[in-house]
Structure 1
Amino acid sequence: MTLPLAVSSQSHVTVEVDNFTLALTGYLTELGLPTEKVLVDVTERRRVINNLPDVINSLDGARRSQSLYLSKFVAACGAGLFDAALNFIWDETVVNLRAKVAQFDLEYFYDSVITDSSRRPKFKDEADLAKIEEWELVRGCHLTGILSDIGYKHLDYIRDMRNWASAAHPNQNDLTGLQLVSWLETCIREVIGKDPEAPAIEVKRFLNNIRNATLTPSDAQYINAGIEQLPSDIAKSLLRTLFGMYTAESAAVQLKTNIRLVAEKCWLLAPESAKHECGFRYATFAANGEVARKAAANEFLTVVNGLPYLPGDTLALELSEKINNLSIAHNGFNNFYNEPAHAKALASYVSSTGHIPDAVRHNYVKAVVMAKIGNGHGVANMAVPYYDEMISKFGDNEIKEFIKLLSDREFSSRVALRNCTQSYRAHAQYLASRTTNQICLQALAIITTATDPQLPQLGKDSAFKRLTDVL
């Protein structure tokens, strides 16, 4: 079998691809192995080869010379192994995202993406990034501002396709050359060839000053003005990090002094879910007998007037753990197999009245609804009875959170998928029959009549936002 040895021009590569295909097919025949559906048609490979120069040239020389998996991508495309090529696109993207996180602020990143307090101590340095699941890596980069909204949506879709249509799993899915080139261009434009978003850079500078400088009230005024410009999701991640830094047993006096100067502004701008999370962590310290950390948490919450956010009983803590477990199972590999046990466990904590503590209601509704509408490829059928049982117990407070989910960036990305759009709309119609609240009914009517393209954008619609503000 003769293999192509020289790559002198684009046309020469195309010719050699044809020769390679004939030679390899003949060799497989000699070995008595299948030849059908092994290599992608040469026509599709030509489309990749013809479009590659324009896409690759958008990378600067330094980044291009370090992109090992892009070389493997090109080789796989030329050989006709598109499923492997998709895997290499994703590998290059993951390597690049990890490098960006390592150069950014690891503590902030880990605090943003790992909300399980028992799991968080296991992540300390750059080496621990390999322990982060890929969906967590993408989501964490979005939460911390390393990825833009549009970049997150594109990458989450490509990650999904990598899981379902690449060589990462056995499959016989057909991928086209133009699809591969388009995904490669997206990964280069949004990750490989792009620096972090401006808010992420500002947060990195801000955290560096908090840790290393001696701030004055005058300095804090400028920092607080900068915090006001941050998106709410980044403000949420920042509050989580400040709380974690303040309550660490090794926290220095100057660090705590710096945090007290800016914590109140961050608290005011963070969403309610982030404030309740601080209350949960306080209760966790108390339950675990961590006296020093409990005292530090009390100090922090006193500074920001956040003591009313402490949970009233242990039910909220138990629910929070079960909600987090369900979310991890739903977003991870083999979710259809893993979800039912976690759905059953969560449902067992919900009383016949459907009462959910205020502190976990948002996360509860989000986790249950996201699992019930699926991930675009289906729903965990064995878990559906539990999801239906929990949704049937939604009262007005849960219905309000159901409506406000469209203002959540992660959720709005999910309902952009066609099957999820239809399911969410159907649940809105169902819940409309279970409330008499006129504001809820108006909002649910807008949801049920919105078109597929309109629905993911409702959270940004001014009229819809006015209704959710009233809720």
Structure 2
Amino acid sequence: MSNIVVKEEVKLPALPNTVLPAIEELTAALGIPREVLASQEEIEYAWRDLPRELREIPGDLRGELIARMCVAVSAGLFDGAMNYGWNAAILQLRQKIRNFGLAVVAQILRSDFEEKHLLELQDSRLLDLCLKLNIVDEDGFFFLDQCREVRNNFSAAHPTMGKVNDREFTAFLNRCVRYALADSSSPKGVDIGAFISAVKGPRFNDHQCRIWVRRLTETHDAQRQMLVNMVHGVYCDPATPEPARLNAIDLCSDLSGAFTASIRSDLINSHSDYVAKGLEEKHAASLQFFEKLGFLGLLNESEQHVVFSRAIERLWNAHNGMNNFYNEPPFAERLLEISQQGAVPETIQNSFVQTVVCCRIGNGYGVSNAAVPYYDEMIKSFSPREVATLINKAVDRSSTLGRRVEGGGNCRRNLKAVLELIDAASVPSTVKPEFDRLVR
């Protein structure tokens, strides 16, 4: 159950009757026009809208700078208030980078990055880094960068190009709050070196796996994307020992439900690179990686054909080999798992249907009872095209399936049980007469 964040209403005191008249008295005493400062109406509207923005700032972030900002607003010093609000936003962004981990930032930037480097960053480069670390998204970067320009040209930080009114100040503050101050949480970076070392180390226990999955979940999307792609590379490297490959699959299996479109795209690009460069061992391992994660549907039909073809061939060899009744189940289970990841490619459907049905009806010695549930599950999922292939093969004496059916006995009786698994609505009209005859 997720925690509900209750926003604390902020009630500011009413502006005393002495504040606004005092501004007029001050300008008169200095001999300057009242219009050079914010008007009474602008001050009143800005003060009225201020609580709505303050409500979005967590209590622990409403510190000295926010207090000074409020005082500046009450006096109509919007340029000073903007500077205080911007400084509060910058301090919070720096803290989020600290929370992410300065050592991890150094790994990502591939250069030294310590506290002094963080403090020396100009605001523009700080925003660039926050975008790179996904501390702010692209929208946040765009609007905060606009605020930076406004602050540099219209706040009390530098000689100004002009004045801002209450609405411009409120919009400025809204963006600082929304994209920097409203959320006190921040992602935690993953130590890349420690992570890869752990993956390549001894086999994970459940506790280790959960810890790393949690860390990957807590980091930002861009780093998670990079680390998943690195894990894919570890899995596909022929020099990787089996414990490390199993670690890689365990991590990705637990995270796969949260894979973004960008992560999937990166995996496909890496897989395609192996094909383009002729790295056959890595390509074969990558196919297995996609299969184990249930991502075969992301590959093109020719790639899927290869995976199905190998699985079908191995099942058929087990069926025709010694002790087939004992050896078939794991190969049947694997083919079922693959078939559940998407439609069987048309180029391999004939072989798929004939192999599954031949194994299901058995040979002259019987069937592998332990494998029957897997066969039945696949047959129930046959598409109309696959049902038509089944019927056509069953009546074709030149096919392996047809010869077994023609031989009668258990094979013919088992075929009838197979046909009873198929919904009549899935039987194409072109083979309906033969289907009815076989059922009878």
- Superposition TM-score, scaled by structure 1 size: 0.41
Greater Rg by CA: 2
